[in-house]
C-alpha cells in the first residue's frame, strides 16, 4: 500500500476538531452517481461547505457499482429500472486493503478517494467490496444503494460502519467526532464500544443526525439476523441487548443511535418537535437539538440572477429566468415531445416519489385539474420528475399514472433521470416549486431552498424547513393545511382543495395580472434564502452545536 493521507488543505483554526462523517450516499456532482435523493444532496452540500470553510472533516461512503439505479422508460413510456455499471476514472484507487467480518466470513474491502480539487469538496473515501478476492455474494454488498434484500442491506451497514472505522485506522486519521448522517453506519458504535469497553466513551465521540420520522427511514431489525450477520462484531447478543436497551428480539436502529450518541440533531425546528413527540419517554436517549438542513449556495445559486438583483436590473433577471425555462423546455421536448412556452406559468413538482410527498395531490379532483390545464386565459404548464425506490411499487404506479395522464395534455410532462443535472435544469426553469407533503412527515426538505436560489417561488405545505423561511405572500405561498389528527384521506381532500384555491385565486392571477408583484416576491425569496439556508451556516452550526461533544476530546 503506497497511499498516505494528510488533510490536503490548511485547516481553519475555528474548525480544527477532526471529524469523520459517515453517510450511505453523497450527491456532489452529476458524474458521481452515489446517491438516491435528499440525504445525498444534503451530504454533498455539507462536503462542499466543509471545503469552503476549511473544516477538518473527511467523508466516508460506499462506491455503489450500479449506483441507485438508472431511471428510464419502457416502450409505453412508463418507468423502467435499469442497474447499469458506473465507471469513475477520476477517483484514486488507494490500494488500501483490509477485511471485515460478515456472517462469520472475511470480506475484503478497498477504498477509492475523491480529491477535494475535483469537485470542491472535503476529502471523501468510498469503500467497495467489488474485489477479485471476494466471492460473488461479498461483491454484491457494494453493488446497489439500498438493496431490498435485508441481508445485503445489513452487510452494507457493516461495510460503512466497521469498514469506515478500519479505513480511518489505515489512513491514520484519528477523529475526535464520528458523525452518523442517519443510522446506516450504526455498526461503528459497537466497534467503538469494543475498543473502549464503555458506552460513555462512545457517547463522547459519536453524534447523530436523523432525517425523517417515516417508518421506512427508521429501520427495525431482528436481533438474531443482526447477530448472524455480525452487525456488532463479536459482542455477545445478551450484552448488546443490555447496552442498547433492546426490548424483545428487535433492534430499533434510530433509538440505538440516540442511546449511543452524545448529541443528535433534527433537521428543522418542526422536525425536532416531531422527534421529541416520538422518542421522549424512551430511556437513555441523548440530548436532541435542531440544526436545519441547507443547500450549497456556491453550487446551486444562479449567480447571474443574483447579480441582476443586486444591481436592480429587473429586465435582465426576467430574461435570465426565461433562458432557464427554454433550457428546461428543450429537455422536456427531447424526452416527451412536448413544446412548452416560456411565457406561460410553469409549475414543477420534483422530488423522490413517495406516498407521503403526495405527487398526485393536484390530481385529487380531476375536474379541477382539467380546468387548470385547459384555461386559455391564464394557462399553466405542469412538470413532474422524481425517482421512486426501485421496489416501491406504489410510488412507481403513481409515476406511471402521471405518465399516462400527460399523454392527453400538451402542457403537461413527466421527466425521468431526476439527478443533479436535471434538478438544476428544473430549478432554473420553474416559476413555482410545489411541495405537498402530509404535515409533519417532511423532516426538512431542501429542494425548495435551491429552487429559491434560482428565482423559483415556493408554494408549499408549512412543513419541514418552510415555516422558518416563509412570509406568506411576501417570499412564497403557504398551502393552508388540515389538522394532522384527521385521517390521511381527509387530509388529502382538504389540502388538495386548499391548493386548488390558492393556485386559482392567488398564484396564477398574480403571475399574469401583477408581474411587478411577482418579481417582488422572487426578489424577497432570493434575498431571504441566503445566507441562512446556505449550507455554510449549517456546517458552522455542526461545529458549534454538535461537535462540542465531551469535555476532553473537542
Please report, in tens digits, the pLDDT of each residue of the chain (554 residues total): 578 899 999 999 999 999 999 999 999 999 999 999 999 999 999 999 999 999 999 999 999 999 999 999 999 999 999 999 999 999 999 999 999 999 999 999 999 999 999 999 999 999 999 999 999 999 999 999 999 999 999 999 999 999 999 999 999 999 999 999 999 999 999 999 999 999 999 999 999 999 988 887 889 999 999 999 999 999 999 999 999 999 899 999 999 999 999 999 999 999 999 999 998 889 999 999 999 999 999 999 999 999 999 999 999 999 999 999 999 999 999 999 999 999 999 999 999 999 999 999 999 999 999 999 999 999 999 999 999 999 999 999 999 999 999 999 999 999 999 999 999 999 999 999 999 999 989 999 999 999 999 999 999 999 999 999 999 999 999 999 877 778 888 999 999 999 999 999 999 999 999 999 999 999 999 999 999 999 999 999 999 999 985 434 43
Same domain membership, residue 352 and residue 272? no
The answer on 343 and 203 residing in a single domain is no
Q: Give the integer Cα–Cα distance in Å for 38 and 450.
A: 12
Question: What pLDDT does residue 280 have?
Answer: 85
Domain-embedded: residue 2: no
Alpha helices in 171-262 (DSSP H): 187-196, 199-203, 223-229, 237-244, 253-260
**386 and 261 share a domain?**
no
Residues 255 and 161 in one domain: yes
What is the spatial distance between Cα 33 and Cα 65, in angstroms, rounded to a whole number?
Answer: 9
Alpha-carbon span 264 to 286, nearest angstrom? 7
Q: How far is residue 128's CA from residue 141's CA, in Å, rounded to a whole number?
A: 8
Tell whether 554 is covered by a domain: no
In a domain, 11, yes or no: no
Identify the H or E element spanning 422. helix 420-429
Residue 370 counted as domain residue: yes
43 and 161 assigned to the same domain: yes
At residue 550, the pLDDT reads 47
One domain for residues 60 and 117: yes
pTM summary value: 0.96
Residue 495 located in a structural domain: yes
Domain CATH number, residue 468: 3.40.50.2000
Q: What is the pLDDT of residue 201?
A: 97
From the list 461, 456, 463, 472, the residue with the least C-alpha distance to 348 is: 456
Are 88 and 125 in the same domain?
Answer: yes
Do 376 and 244 have their domain in common?
no
Domain tally, the chain: 2
Residues 225 and 321 in one domain: no
Residue 95 sits in the same domain as residue 114? yes
Q: Are residues 182 and 303 in the same domain?
A: no
Q: Is position 108 within any domain?
A: yes
Residues 289 and 306 in one domain: no
Q: Is residue 372 in a domain? A: yes
Say which residue the cell 423546455 belongs to: 329
Q: Which domain holds residue 61?
A: 17-295+537-546
Domain assignment present for 7: no
Amino acid at each position: 500500500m503506497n497511499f498516505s493521507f494528510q488533510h490536503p488543505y490548511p485547516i481553519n483554526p475555528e474548525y480544527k476538531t477532526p471529524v469523520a462523517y459517515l453517510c450511505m450516499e453523497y450527491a456532489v456532482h452529476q458524474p458521481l452517481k452515489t446517491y438516491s435523493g435528499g440525504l445525498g444532496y444534503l451530504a454533498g452540500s455539507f462536503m462542499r461547505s466543509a471545503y469552503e470553510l476549511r473544516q477538518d472533516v473527511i467523508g466516508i461512503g460506499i462506491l455503489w457499482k450500479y449506483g441507485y439505479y438508472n431511471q428510464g422508460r419502457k416502450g409505453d413510456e412508463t418507468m423502467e429500472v435499469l442497474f447499469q455499471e458506473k465507471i469513475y476514472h477520476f477517483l484514486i484507487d488507494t490500494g488500501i486493503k483490509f477485511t471485515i467480518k460478515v456472517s462469520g466470513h472475511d470480506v475484503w474491502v478497498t477504498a477509492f478517494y475523491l480529491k477535494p480539487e475535483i469537485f470542491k469538496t472535503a476529502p471523501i473515501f468510498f469503500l467497495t467490496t467489488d474485489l477479485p478476492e471476494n466471492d460473488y455474494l461479498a461483491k454484491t454488498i457494494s453493488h446497489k444503494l439500498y438493496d431490498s434484500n435485508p441481508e445485503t442491506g445489513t452487510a452494507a451497514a457493516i461495510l460503512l460502519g466497521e469498514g469506515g472505522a478500519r479505513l480511518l485506522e489505515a489512513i491514520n486519521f484519528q477523529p475526535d467526532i464520528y458523525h452518523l448522517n442517519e443510522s446506516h453506519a450504526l455498526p461503528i458504535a459497537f466497534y467503538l464500544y469494543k475498543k473502549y469497553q464503555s458506552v460513555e466513551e462512545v457517547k463522547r465521540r459519536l453524534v447523530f443526525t436523523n432525517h425523517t420520522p417515516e417508518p421506512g427511514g427508521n429501520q427495525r431489525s431482528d436481533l438474531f439476523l443482526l447477530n448472524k450477520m455480525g452487525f456488532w462484531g463479536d459482542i455477545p447478543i445478551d450484552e448488546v441487548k443490555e447496552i442498547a436497551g433492546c426490548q424483545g428480539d428487535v433492534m430499533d436502529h434510530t433509538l440505538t443511535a440516540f442511546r449511543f450518541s452524545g448529541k443528535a440533531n433534527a433537521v428543522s425546528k418542526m422536525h425536532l418537535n416531531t422527534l421529541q413527540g416520538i422518542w421522549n419517554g424512551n430511556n437513555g436517549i441523548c440530548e436532541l437539538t435542531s440544526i436545519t438542513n441547507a443547500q450549497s449556495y456556491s453550487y446551486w445559486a444562479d449567480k447571474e440572477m443574483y447579480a441582476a438583483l443586486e444591481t436592480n436590473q429587473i429586465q435582465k433577471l426576467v430574461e435570465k429566468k426565461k433562458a432557464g425555462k427554454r433550457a428546461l423546455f428543450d429537455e422536456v421536448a427531447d424526452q416527451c415531445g412536448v413544446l412548452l412556452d416560456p411565457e406561460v406559468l410553469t409549475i414543477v413538482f420534483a422530488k423522490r416519489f413517495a406516498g407521503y410527498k403526495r405527487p398526485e395531490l393536484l390530481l385529487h379532483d380531476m375536474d379541477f385539474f382539467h380546468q387548470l390545464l385547459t384555461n386559455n386565459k391564464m394557462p399553466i404548464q405542469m412538470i413532474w420528475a422524481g425517482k421512486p425506490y426501485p421496489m416501491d411499487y406504489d410510488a412507481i404506479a403513481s409515476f406511471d399514472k402521471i405518465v399516462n395522464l400527460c399523454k392527453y395534455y400538451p402542457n403537461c410532462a413527466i421527466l425521468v433521470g431526476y439527478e443533479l443535472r436535471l434538478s438544476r435544469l428544473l430549478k432554473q426553469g420553474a416559476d413555482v416549486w410545489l411541495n405537498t407533503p402530509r404535515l409533519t412527515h417532511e423532516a426538512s426538505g431542501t429542494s425548495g431552498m435551491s429552487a429559491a436560489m434560482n428565482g423559483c417561488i415556493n408554494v408549499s405545505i408549512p412543513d419541514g424547513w418552510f415555516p422558518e423561511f416563509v412570509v406568506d405572500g411576501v417570499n412564497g405561498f403557504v398551502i393552508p393545511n388540515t389538522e394532522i389528527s384527521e385521517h390521511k384521506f381527509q387530509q388529502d381532500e382538504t389540502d388538495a382543495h386548499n391548493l386548488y384555491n390558492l393556485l386559482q385565486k392567488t398564484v396564477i392571477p398574480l403571475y399574469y395580472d401583477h408581474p411587478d408583484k411577482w418579481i417582488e416576491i422572487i426578489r424577497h425569496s432570493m434575498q431571504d434564502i441566503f445566507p441562512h439556508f446556505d449550507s455554510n451556516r449549517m456546517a458552522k452550526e455542526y461545529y458549534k452545536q454538535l461537535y462540542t461533544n465531551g469535555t476532553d476530546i473537542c
